[in-house]
Protein backbone atom coordinates (compact mmCIF):
# COMPACT_ATOMS: atom_id res chain seq x y z
CA UNK A 1 0.00 0.00 0.00
CA UNK A 2 1.59 3.34 -1.05
CA UNK A 3 1.77 6.02 1.64
CA UNK A 4 -0.03 9.10 0.36
CA UNK A 5 -1.55 12.08 2.15
CA UNK A 6 -4.88 10.24 2.19
CA UNK A 7 -3.63 6.90 3.51
CA UNK A 8 -1.38 8.50 6.14
CA UNK A 9 -4.37 10.33 7.59
CA UNK A 10 -6.49 7.17 7.60
CA UNK A 11 -3.89 5.12 9.44
CA UNK A 12 -2.63 7.83 11.78
CA UNK A 13 -2.81 6.77 15.45
CA UNK A 14 -1.49 9.96 17.12
CA UNK A 15 -4.72 10.61 19.01
CA UNK A 16 -5.30 9.90 22.70
CA UNK A 17 -2.66 8.60 25.08
CA UNK A 18 -1.26 5.67 23.12
CA UNK A 19 -1.46 4.42 19.56
CA UNK A 20 -3.32 1.35 20.81
CA UNK A 21 -6.24 3.46 22.13
CA UNK A 22 -9.44 3.16 20.12
CA UNK A 23 -10.89 6.13 18.29
CA UNK A 24 -14.40 7.44 18.89
CA UNK A 25 -15.68 5.51 15.89
CA UNK A 26 -14.01 2.30 17.07
CA UNK A 27 -15.32 2.67 20.60
CA UNK A 28 -18.86 3.22 19.28
CA UNK A 29 -18.70 -0.28 17.78
CA UNK A 30 -17.51 -1.83 21.05
CA UNK A 31 -19.67 0.19 23.43
CA UNK A 32 -22.88 -1.24 21.99
CA UNK A 33 -21.96 -4.67 23.42
CA UNK A 34 -20.68 -3.54 26.82
CA UNK A 35 -22.72 -4.77 29.83
CA UNK A 36 -25.08 -2.13 31.26
CA UNK A 37 -24.69 -0.58 34.69
CA UNK A 38 -25.97 -2.70 37.55
CA UNK A 39 -29.11 -1.46 39.25
CA UNK A 40 -27.95 -2.50 42.71
CA UNK A 41 -24.72 -2.15 44.64
CA UNK A 42 -22.17 0.64 44.40
CA UNK A 43 -22.44 2.77 41.24
CA UNK A 44 -19.80 2.18 38.60
CA UNK A 45 -17.03 4.79 38.71
CA UNK A 46 -14.69 3.26 36.10
CA UNK A 47 -15.10 4.26 32.46
CA UNK A 48 -15.30 1.07 30.39
CA UNK A 49 -13.54 2.77 27.50
CA UNK A 50 -10.47 3.20 29.71
CA UNK A 51 -10.64 -0.48 30.63
CA UNK A 52 -10.90 -1.48 26.97
CA UNK A 53 -7.99 0.77 26.04
CA UNK A 54 -5.90 -0.79 28.83
CA UNK A 55 -6.68 -4.29 27.53
CA UNK A 56 -5.75 -3.23 23.99
CA UNK A 57 -2.53 -1.71 25.32
CA UNK A 58 -1.64 -5.05 26.93
CA UNK A 59 -2.44 -6.92 23.72
CA UNK A 60 -0.30 -4.56 21.65
CA UNK A 61 2.66 -4.18 24.01
CA UNK A 62 2.58 -7.68 25.50
CA UNK A 63 3.19 -6.43 29.04
CA UNK A 64 2.15 -7.95 32.37
CA UNK A 65 -0.85 -6.81 34.37
CA UNK A 66 1.32 -4.93 36.86
CA UNK A 67 3.04 -3.04 34.02
CA UNK A 68 -0.10 -1.22 32.84
CA UNK A 69 0.65 2.55 32.80
CA UNK A 70 -0.73 4.61 35.66
CA UNK A 71 -2.98 6.72 33.44
CA UNK A 72 -5.20 3.66 32.97
CA UNK A 73 -7.45 2.32 35.75
CA UNK A 74 -5.66 0.20 38.40
CA UNK A 75 -4.37 -3.11 37.07
CA UNK A 76 -6.57 -5.02 39.53
CA UNK A 77 -9.64 -3.26 38.12
CA UNK A 78 -8.67 -3.97 34.51
CA UNK A 79 -7.92 -7.59 35.40
CA UNK A 80 -11.27 -8.01 37.13
CA UNK A 81 -13.15 -6.71 34.09
CA UNK A 82 -11.07 -8.91 31.77
CA UNK A 83 -11.93 -12.08 33.68
CA UNK A 84 -15.58 -11.06 33.96
CA UNK A 85 -15.88 -10.46 30.20
CA UNK A 86 -13.87 -13.59 29.46
CA UNK A 87 -16.09 -15.84 31.56
CA UNK A 88 -19.33 -14.32 30.23
CA UNK A 89 -18.33 -14.93 26.59
CA UNK A 90 -18.43 -11.20 25.76
CA UNK A 91 -15.36 -11.36 23.53
CA UNK A 92 -16.92 -14.16 21.47
CA UNK A 93 -20.16 -12.19 21.03
CA UNK A 94 -18.36 -9.01 19.98
CA UNK A 95 -16.18 -10.86 17.48
CA UNK A 96 -19.12 -12.73 15.94
CA UNK A 97 -21.17 -9.54 15.51
CA UNK A 98 -18.31 -7.49 14.09
CA UNK A 99 -17.30 -10.17 11.58
CA UNK A 100 -20.83 -10.24 10.18
CA UNK A 101 -20.82 -6.44 10.06
CA UNK A 102 -17.50 -6.13 8.24
CA UNK A 103 -18.53 -8.81 5.73
CA UNK A 104 -21.60 -6.77 4.84
CA UNK A 105 -19.41 -3.67 4.45
CA UNK A 106 -17.28 -5.72 2.04
CA UNK A 107 -20.35 -6.57 -0.02
CA UNK A 108 -20.62 -10.18 1.19
CA UNK A 109 -23.36 -12.12 2.92
CA UNK A 110 -23.17 -11.82 6.70
CA UNK A 111 -22.63 -15.57 7.13
CA UNK A 112 -19.91 -17.19 4.98
CA UNK A 113 -20.36 -20.39 2.98
CA UNK A 114 -16.68 -21.36 2.71
CA UNK A 115 -13.68 -21.14 4.98
CA UNK A 116 -9.95 -21.80 5.23
CA UNK A 117 -8.44 -23.84 8.08
CA UNK A 118 -4.90 -24.02 9.40
CA UNK A 119 -2.93 -24.12 12.65
CA UNK A 120 -0.05 -22.22 14.22
CA UNK A 121 2.31 -23.77 16.77
CA UNK A 122 3.28 -21.42 19.59
CA UNK A 123 5.75 -21.87 22.42
CA UNK A 124 4.50 -21.64 25.98
CA UNK A 125 6.24 -20.45 29.12
CA UNK A 126 7.11 -22.51 32.17
CA UNK A 127 3.68 -21.71 33.66
CA UNK A 128 1.53 -22.31 30.58
CA UNK A 129 -0.72 -25.33 30.79
CA UNK A 130 0.28 -26.59 34.23
CA UNK A 131 -2.65 -25.44 36.34
CA UNK A 132 -5.92 -27.27 36.80
CA UNK A 133 -8.35 -26.90 33.95
CA UNK A 134 -5.71 -25.51 31.63
CA UNK A 135 -4.96 -26.73 28.15
CA UNK A 136 -1.90 -28.96 28.44
CA UNK A 137 1.06 -28.12 26.31
CA UNK A 138 2.96 -30.62 24.26
CA UNK A 139 5.73 -32.03 26.37
CA UNK A 140 3.45 -32.76 29.31
CA UNK A 141 2.59 -35.98 27.48
CA UNK A 142 4.76 -38.80 26.20
CA UNK A 143 4.39 -37.31 22.72
CA UNK A 144 7.40 -35.03 22.08
CA UNK A 145 5.31 -32.20 20.62
CA UNK A 146 4.59 -30.86 17.16
CA UNK A 147 6.28 -33.45 14.98
CA UNK A 148 6.69 -31.03 12.09
CA UNK A 149 7.94 -27.88 13.83
CA UNK A 150 9.52 -29.46 16.94
CA UNK A 151 7.77 -26.93 19.17
CA UNK A 152 6.71 -27.82 22.69
CA UNK A 153 3.69 -25.67 23.25
CA UNK A 154 0.16 -25.15 22.03
CA UNK A 155 -1.53 -24.85 18.67
CA UNK A 156 -3.84 -22.06 17.63
CA UNK A 157 -6.14 -23.92 15.29
CA UNK A 158 -8.29 -21.42 13.41
CA UNK A 159 -10.76 -21.19 10.57
CA UNK A 160 -11.36 -17.98 8.64
CA UNK A 161 -13.76 -16.94 5.94
CA UNK A 162 -12.38 -16.47 2.42
CA UNK A 163 -11.58 -12.81 3.20
CA UNK A 164 -9.48 -13.73 6.21
CA UNK A 165 -11.65 -12.85 9.20
CA UNK A 166 -11.58 -15.19 12.19
CA UNK A 167 -14.83 -17.12 12.62
CA UNK A 168 -13.80 -20.14 14.69
CA UNK A 169 -10.84 -21.53 16.58
CA UNK A 170 -9.62 -23.99 19.19
CA UNK A 171 -6.41 -23.85 21.20
CA UNK A 172 -5.03 -27.27 22.02
CA UNK A 173 -1.77 -29.05 22.79
CA UNK A 174 0.89 -28.92 20.10
CA UNK A 175 1.18 -32.71 19.84
CA UNK A 176 -2.34 -32.98 18.37
CA UNK A 177 -2.05 -33.27 14.61
CA UNK A 178 -4.05 -30.99 12.33
CA UNK A 179 -6.37 -33.73 11.06
CA UNK A 180 -7.17 -34.73 14.66
CA UNK A 181 -7.86 -31.18 15.83
CA UNK A 182 -9.93 -30.12 12.80
CA UNK A 183 -13.23 -31.69 14.01
CA UNK A 184 -13.05 -29.64 17.23
CA UNK A 185 -12.51 -26.45 15.25
CA UNK A 186 -15.37 -27.14 12.84
CA UNK A 187 -17.64 -28.06 15.73
CA UNK A 188 -17.28 -24.51 17.10
CA UNK A 189 -18.89 -23.02 13.96
CA UNK A 190 -21.49 -25.69 13.31
CA UNK A 191 -24.29 -23.57 14.81
CA UNK A 192 -22.89 -20.03 14.54
CA UNK A 193 -22.25 -20.38 10.78
CA UNK A 194 -24.74 -23.03 9.58
CA UNK A 195 -24.18 -22.34 5.85
CA UNK A 196 -20.42 -22.85 5.97
CA UNK A 197 -19.77 -26.40 4.82
CA UNK A 198 -16.87 -26.12 2.33
CA UNK A 199 -13.35 -25.96 3.76
CA UNK A 200 -10.04 -25.25 2.02
CA UNK A 201 -7.03 -26.90 3.68
CA UNK A 202 -3.46 -28.07 3.13
CA UNK A 203 -2.17 -31.63 2.84
CA UNK A 204 -2.12 -32.11 6.60
CA UNK A 205 -5.91 -32.53 6.53
CA UNK A 206 -5.99 -35.18 3.80
CA UNK A 207 -7.02 -38.77 4.37
CA UNK A 208 -10.13 -40.84 5.16
CA UNK A 209 -9.69 -40.56 8.94
CA UNK A 210 -10.76 -36.89 9.04
CA UNK A 211 -13.65 -37.43 6.62
CA UNK A 212 -14.97 -40.24 8.79
CA UNK A 213 -14.89 -38.08 11.91
CA UNK A 214 -16.56 -35.16 10.17
CA UNK A 215 -19.57 -37.26 9.19
CA UNK A 216 -20.45 -37.39 12.90
CA UNK A 217 -20.81 -33.62 13.25
CA UNK A 218 -22.30 -32.64 9.89
CA UNK A 219 -21.92 -32.64 6.13
CA UNK A 220 -18.56 -31.08 5.30
CA UNK A 221 -16.42 -31.03 2.17
CA UNK A 222 -12.65 -30.65 2.52
CA UNK A 223 -10.80 -29.35 -0.53
CA UNK A 224 -7.05 -29.96 -0.29
CA UNK A 225 -5.07 -27.17 -1.96
CA UNK A 226 -1.56 -28.44 -2.67
CA UNK A 227 1.60 -26.74 -3.82
CA UNK A 228 2.52 -27.48 -7.42
CA UNK A 229 5.15 -30.19 -7.81
CA UNK A 230 6.92 -28.12 -10.48
CA UNK A 231 7.05 -24.92 -8.41
CA UNK A 232 10.44 -23.64 -7.34
CA UNK A 233 11.06 -21.16 -4.56
CA UNK A 234 8.28 -19.03 -3.06
CA UNK A 235 4.80 -19.51 -4.46
CA UNK A 236 1.47 -18.04 -3.37
CA UNK A 237 -0.86 -20.99 -2.89
CA UNK A 238 -4.50 -20.23 -3.76
CA UNK A 239 -6.89 -19.91 -0.81
CA UNK A 240 -4.31 -21.03 1.75
CA UNK A 241 -2.55 -17.67 1.74
CA UNK A 242 -5.66 -16.10 3.29
CA UNK A 243 -5.35 -17.89 6.63
CA UNK A 244 -1.59 -17.33 6.67
CA UNK A 245 -2.22 -13.61 6.30
CA UNK A 246 -4.64 -13.77 9.23
CA UNK A 247 -1.91 -15.26 11.42
CA UNK A 248 0.33 -12.39 10.32
CA UNK A 249 -2.37 -9.85 11.22
CA UNK A 250 -2.82 -11.36 14.66
CA UNK A 251 0.93 -11.51 15.17
CA UNK A 252 1.08 -7.73 15.26
CA UNK A 253 -0.10 -7.98 18.87
CA UNK A 254 2.96 -8.86 20.91
CA UNK A 255 0.84 -10.62 23.51
CA UNK A 256 0.47 -13.42 20.95
CA UNK A 257 4.19 -13.78 20.23
CA UNK A 258 4.17 -16.50 22.87
CA UNK A 259 1.41 -18.25 24.80
CA UNK A 260 1.82 -16.75 28.27
CA UNK A 261 -1.52 -17.92 29.67
CA UNK A 262 -2.14 -20.65 32.22
CA UNK A 263 -5.73 -21.28 31.15
CA UNK A 264 -7.22 -22.02 27.76
CA UNK A 265 -9.93 -19.37 28.28
CA UNK A 266 -7.39 -16.60 28.71
CA UNK A 267 -5.41 -17.75 25.66
CA UNK A 268 -8.61 -17.71 23.59
CA UNK A 269 -9.58 -14.28 24.91
CA UNK A 270 -6.32 -12.62 23.86
CA UNK A 271 -6.67 -14.14 20.40
CA UNK A 272 -10.17 -12.66 20.15
CA UNK A 273 -9.04 -9.27 21.48
CA UNK A 274 -6.34 -9.08 18.81
CA UNK A 275 -8.88 -9.89 16.09
CA UNK A 276 -11.52 -7.51 17.46
CA UNK A 277 -8.93 -4.73 17.38
CA UNK A 278 -8.24 -5.54 13.73
CA UNK A 279 -11.91 -5.65 12.71
CA UNK A 280 -12.94 -2.46 14.53
CA UNK A 281 -10.20 -0.50 12.78
CA UNK A 282 -11.26 -1.99 9.45
CA UNK A 283 -14.91 -1.01 9.94
CA UNK A 284 -14.04 2.46 11.24
CA UNK A 285 -11.97 3.15 8.12
CA UNK A 286 -14.74 1.90 5.86
pLDDT tens per residue, the chain (286 residues)? 566 776 666 666 666 688 899 999 999 999 999 998 888 888 888 999 999 999 999 999 999 999 999 999 999 999 999 999 999 999 999 999 999 999 999 999 999 999 999 999 999 887 655 433 445 544 444 333 555 556 778 999 999 999 999 999 999 998 899 999 999 999 999 999 999 999 999 988 988 888 889 888 888 999 998 876 666 666 677 788 999 999 999 999 999 999 999 999 999 999 999 999 999 999 998 8
Q: Where are the domains of the chain?
A: 5-88, 111-262
pLDDT at 256: 96
pLDDT of residue 128: 56
What's the Cα-to-Cα distance from 61 to each of 66, 67, 149, 174, 262, rounded to whole Å?
13, 10, 26, 25, 19
Query: How far, in Å, CA of 53 to CA of 115, rounded?
Result: 31
pLDDT, position 136: 53
pLDDT (0 to 100) of residue 37: 86
Architecture of domain 111-262 in this structure: 2-Layer Sandwich (3.30)
pLDDT at 13: 67
State pTM to two decimals: 0.87
pLDDT number for residue 255: 95
pLDDT of residue 244: 93
pLDDT score of 233:
60
Amino acid sequence: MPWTDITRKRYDRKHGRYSSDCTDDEWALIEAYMPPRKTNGRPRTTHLRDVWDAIQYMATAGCQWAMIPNDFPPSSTVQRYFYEWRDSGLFHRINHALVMMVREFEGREASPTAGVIDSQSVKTTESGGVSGGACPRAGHRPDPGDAGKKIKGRKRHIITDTIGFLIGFVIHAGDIQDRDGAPFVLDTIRHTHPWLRHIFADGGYAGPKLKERLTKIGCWTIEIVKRSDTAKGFEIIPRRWVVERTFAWLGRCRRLAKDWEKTILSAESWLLIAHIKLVTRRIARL
